[in-house]
Chain A
Amino acid sequence: MQLRRAVSGLGLACACALTGAASAQVVDSEARMTVFVEPSSSSQLLVLHPGVRTAARVGESVTVSAGYDADIVTGATEAIKGGPLGGVDVVSSATSFDDVRHVAQGGFSIERRRTRLSGGYQFGTESDYRSHSFSVGAGADFNQKNTSLDLAYVRSFDDVCTSAFSATLPTSSRQPLDASSGCFTAGAREEGRRATRDIALDNLQLAWTQSWSPVLSTQLVLTGQLQNGFLENPYRAVVIAPSGASALENHPENRARVALALRTKYFVRSWQAAWGADARLYRDTWDMWAGTFELSLEKHWTPWFRLLGRARVHQQTGVLFWSDDYTGGEPLTGPRGQYWTGDRELSPLRSYSLGARALLTTQRRAGDRLLGIFLQGAAGASLDLIKTDLREFTWAGRSPDDTLAGVMSLTLSGSL
């Protein structure tokens, strides 16, 4: 049913894009296949992430777009989190799963000489999660286009499937979902096996882009997000008592997040290459601090071939209520007030990423089309390796072995 709605939504968005294409000057299309691999002896993960997008320019200033993405996930995950004191065999609790997420989106943008306006809608569905997102954006250029200001706002209305516990049930008695079957079906709700919880997301972003010289530009980006609702993983239980008893993760239901990023691009004429340096500071009301730095170099080797190399470092503190073991005492392990989590992304960690991307492009003269169809085309391939250094997180005292991941992408794009 959800898939049918997603496909219908995509169909509608495509219809809009194609209606535009009928009188369009240019139609840009892009297709991508990304493979994410996370090897592990107990909780390996494989995600296939295909996607397509098309945009048609209608007249001088209007562009309509449509797109579709999917996440095809297979793997295994540990359903319970315990620390070194909990006495629970966490690793053998890993259970296999597979799921497919569909995302359909459509949008428009209007560009004048110095101003732009955009809007869009995105619908995502998977067996245990649904999302409706509405976005609007506006921007303007000043000082002979040397200064640009852009503002974007996205509001998401999400639903997540959980086990059917009442709001009055003590959080230490709530249990996780054992499977996604029956989610979003009236029968399972009536039988008291499943429930649906709301998540509301408000995202606001302000970006200032500045050209300082013919070869230097910067961008300062301020992002804020408010999350409200069920912010736990509905499948994950945490050992919270020395007896080994566990309960569903329990997170605060509100989280405000803010990030400030500065990006710099500098072109070295003699190398025909652009240096990029990005730095980001992040903080949220769960008391997480994070800093991220990325360095990149992209070079034109020939007019039709360019190569990018990038390196990234990220470091974060744990959230205030993070503990590797909620059954012990202070200060290293033990309870952190009324909340508990088994989410490694909320623990103190460092992550390192190294990657490269190659892009082949072809540009045709007017009237000379590639394969008789495309005005221009491009093919790209990229590979990134991500290593995560979990500084406190363990599976019952054992270091996880799924901390190295690879992301490979192949893309094809063309303009009609």
Chain B
Amino acid sequence: MTKHSGSSIDTTRATVPRDAGSPGRWALAMFLLATFSGGCASVRPEQRAILADPTMQHDDESLEAEARRHVLENREGAFGGGSVRGGGCGCN
């Protein structure tokens, strides 16, 4: 049996998961900001032609973008800020 022994081992080091921040507080702040600052913007419907252009869309849900996200998420430790997807091991 393999023993993870030795005097240099410090098993008291903090490996207990830490608080990752407070997503609830962030969500509330986002909602309030959206509610109150959104009213300042006034783009009239007839001015929205450019905003409707495909180059101005934030959510690129094309299969090409999905494949790129899949690759990046498997090569980095971070995730999020894009679309929410599940599944896949990425073990290899």
Instruction: Decide if A and B are genuine partners.
Output: yes
Q: Which residues of A contact B88 (CB under 8 A)?
A: 71, 101, 103, 124, 129, 131
Of the candidates B17, B50, B67, B87, the one whose C-beta lies within 8 Å of that of A34 is B67
Contact A257 B13 (CB under 8 A): no
Does A18 make an interface contact (CB < 8 A)? no
A234 to B15, CA, bound (A): 21
Contact B20 A144 (CB under 8 A): no
Instruction: Name the CB-closest residue of B to A51.
Output: B63
Of the candidates A103, A217, A247, the one whose C-beta lies within 8 Å of that of B51 is A217
Does A188 make an interface contact (CB < 8 A)? no
Contact A124 B67 (CB under 8 A): no
* Interface size range on B against A: 35 or more
Contact A172 B67 (CB under 8 A): no
Instruction: Name the CB-closest residue of A to B34.
Output: A208
Q: Known contacts A126-B89, A245-B2, A290-B77: does B62 contact A411 (CB below 8 Å)?
A: yes
A298 to B54, CA, bound (A): 10
Distance from B11 Cβ to chain A, minimum over Cβ atoms (Å): 6
A323 to B92, CA, bound (A): 21
Contact B17 A99 (CB under 8 A): no
Does A7 make an interface contact (CB < 8 A)? no
Q: Known contacts A49-B70, A217-B58: does B77 contact A316 (CB below 8 Å)?
A: yes
Contact B77 A210 (CB under 8 A): no
Contact A235 B91 (CB under 8 A): yes
A53 to B49, CA, bound (A): 28
Of the candidates A149, A259, A263, A413, the one whose C-beta lies within 8 Å of that of B79 is A259
Does A196 make an interface contact (CB < 8 A)? no
Of the candidates B4, B20, B21, B31, the one whose C-beta lies within 8 Å of that of A240 is B4
Q: Which residues of B contact A187 (CB under 8 A)?
A: none
Contact B11 A338 (CB under 8 A): yes
Contact B91 A267 (CB under 8 A): no
The interface stretch among A19-27, A56-64, A151-159, A365-373 is: A151-159
Proximity bits, A269-284, B CB within 8 Å = 1, else 0: 1000110001010111
Contact B15 A314 (CB under 8 A): no
The residues of B with any CB-CB pair to A shorter than 8 Å are: 1-6, 8-15, 17-21, 23, 26-27, 30-31, 33-34, 37-39, 41-45, 47-51, 53-59, 62-64, 66-68, 70-72, 74-89, 91-92
User: Would you list the 8 A-B pairs with minimal beta carbon distance, nearest first?
Assistant: A261-B81, A259-B80, A223-B80, A156-B86, A131-B87, A285-B17, A147-B38, A133-B86
